[in-house]
Structure 1
Amino acid sequence: MSKIRLLQTGDWHIDVSPSKAPRHEDHQHFLCWLLQLMKEEQTDVFLHTGNIFNKAIPSNKGLNLLSDFVFQASELPDLKAMVFICGNHDLSHFLESLNPLLKTARDIKIHFISSLPVEQEQIYQKLLVPVTCPSSGAHLATIIAFPYTPHSILLAKYTSDKKSAIDRFSDLEQSLKDIYTSLAKQAQSKFAQGPLIAMGHFNCADQETLKTAFSSHRSIYFNQKFTPELFCDSYDYIALGHNHNHLSLNDGRIQYAGSPITTSDEECTTRHVLQIEIDESNTAQVKPIQVPPFRKTVVFDGSLTELLDLLEQEDVVQTTYLYATVTQTNSHQDVLKHLEKHSAHVRLIDLKQPQEKSFLDQAPPLSMLDPEQIFSEIYTQKYNSLPSEELTDLLKQAVHKALYQEELNSKISETVD
């Protein structure tokens, strides 16, 4: 067998934050770049480790991004297979419905592995993905494409309702280990040659893994992490998804590519995809490739004056997304007004203040404020944008009607008395 080249990515989360921080342009830029990279690197196999979309039902724009990418990738001369597994954000039935549409693609095999079959034999048929050369039919590699599966299914044979969360996780880890080991044995008996590659969507860590290596809010499976011992020695390479940061485990045998798009203030480090080359001895060489960002994301902690000075120095082409902690006691509305005045290219995504107090905790007594001030500040805190003139006008009309009704009720009460 000659060398085989794989491209690993995952956790795209297309359609993330459509109103607050839309990133469709970012994904479009990334996918165009990715197609060119796969062409230049002569990629044989494309691996996606789950969470294509951010929501169960994608938008039309999000679905078009995926379909355009898949069909353009299917025209690449060296690509032989594309394998997508379901993540915890993906709706399994929806991904399953995409498979018939992909049969119209070129000679390459495109697989959307969405759920775990009930019957054991069906598991082998569905999750074992052989990669072959279209021209010669030679077997190049075997991929175990294991999709995200709810713990209730994986624990079906255990009486887990009577155990603690730790005991249940121990059963869960054993269940997954048994499945991966069984699949490896089946693959080796069916395909004697070529590397064996596993895919999965969950958190995995060893004793040396730092907590900061993981996205803190990405919690599944009792908020626990599996150990590398989950995978038997038969696997030559393991491609995992769910963690949004690039991470290498088990001497490089286990790899997370991380999310290619910054979707939170925790992800402002360099984003990656992974190029994997497996040689004749089934040894994998992994090369992280930096994803060129479409827009800049700024995480700032300091005074409003320092923030404005920083933003004025920025040479920005696309709208910058800003996550800010402002140490001065400025209101949300005050910060937004300054940003609009000094930096029209900046969009405030999240604003924190050290005292962690809401407007109502900090404001003067309500009797000293008019309704428009109260509404404007609370709206700004919630949506990180100033209310529109239309909303403000509607509020004024509502206040006017309320005051008129109050005055009318008072006069009626006086008349009755």
Structure 2
Amino acid sequence: MTSPDVKATVHALMPSVVADLEELIAIPSISFPGYDAEPVHRMAERTLEKFRMAGFTDARFMDVPSGYPPIYGEIPGPEGAPTVVLYAHYDVQPALESQGWTSDPWTPTRKEDGRIYGRGASDDKSGLVTHLGMMRYFGGKPPVTLRLILEGMEETESNLEEFVETNPELFECDLFVICDMGNIRVGDPVMTTALRGDVSCTVTVRTLEHPLHSGVFGGAAPDAMMALARLLTTLQDDAGDVAIDGVTKGPWEGADLSEDDFRAMADMLPGVDLIGTGTVADRLWAKPSINAIGIDTTSIADSSNVIHPQASAKISMRIVPGSDPKKELAALVAHLESHAPWGAQVEVTPMKAAPPYRVRTDGPGYAAARAAMAEAFGKACDEAGSGGSIPLLQTLEDASPSAEFVLWGPEDTAQARIHASDESVDPEEIERMIVAQVLLLEKLAEG
């Protein structure tokens, strides 16, 4: 079909695609420990049923040592056709009431802006229905060999990397299509070409054997919480750039954001400055960033007039493509161990070293995807990075070293608010992404 015919056919499919999305949003498939397992299993079953009906008749749950099972399936294409692996995930983040939701996160809600709101609406149930819409376009008979992998533990401790390492033959392909990303803005196509990695650790600061009366001992005895606060401030310089010796940084070449656009996307409060130096794109995709994502100390409700003997924090540092996560984590640990004030005792426990990833952009699969995006959106396609990390990509590359990667999806940065309150997706963006995936497979088959 020509591009206008593809668009018309996909448009006619959208009511069923939206119905699927709304049904799936209503299932609270939170994979985190401590949450009810029944909804996750129910989500897995419904997802499996839908993909079987869409053409993956042999789709099935795969055995894994622990956690929720991945779904795998395969549809043979014409002889000599390339092989494409489709990826998405069916689990979601928690939706805490304290996040400030303005509608029930488990009730799909269409608001005045036309977007559909609910936990997982973007991340990544929109990816699931994008694949479903594409399969329905082809009537379950795509022009290439398709393999399907749908993960159930992406948002927590993934069990898929070990599965891929154990079963590399299932992932041999020409192209991976990772539908768990999105454009910067709705309607403006970009190819994601770089992902930052993520290293993390916990740091505990100790100054006393036990709590002390702050009136009797304050002014001479060091408070561990204050020592921790001073230690944390050494992680950034006055501009807000990471101030750790030995970490990797560089410039970004590709799409950029204005400071005004970024302020609007981040919902920054009036008068608050952006941090860091360089372009906004440099700061988001080509330079490291660091945050204290959790602190353990006395709560305000439990506070009393004492000096704290101990305080802890969890530190997360995003690292840039091309860097070695083990070396970056070692640099972070060394900094924390050597910058404690007042001789405070510091104990650092490394936790995570997820690698960054850079997409190869010189292959025929990437070229076909970029052309498909331009046709689907009716405008030229740019390149952007992502601050998020997907450690699985390196594992997939190891399993199929000659394969290319396409990273895209309906999760726009500007409004989707993934992992936050009022997560949402624009159904028209899903429609355009279905068109792009259809065109991509047709171009691969022709090529």
- TM-score, scaled to structure 2: 0.24
From the CA coordinates, give the structure whose radius of gyration is larger: 1
- TM-score, scaled to structure 1: 0.25
Structure with bigger helix share is: 1
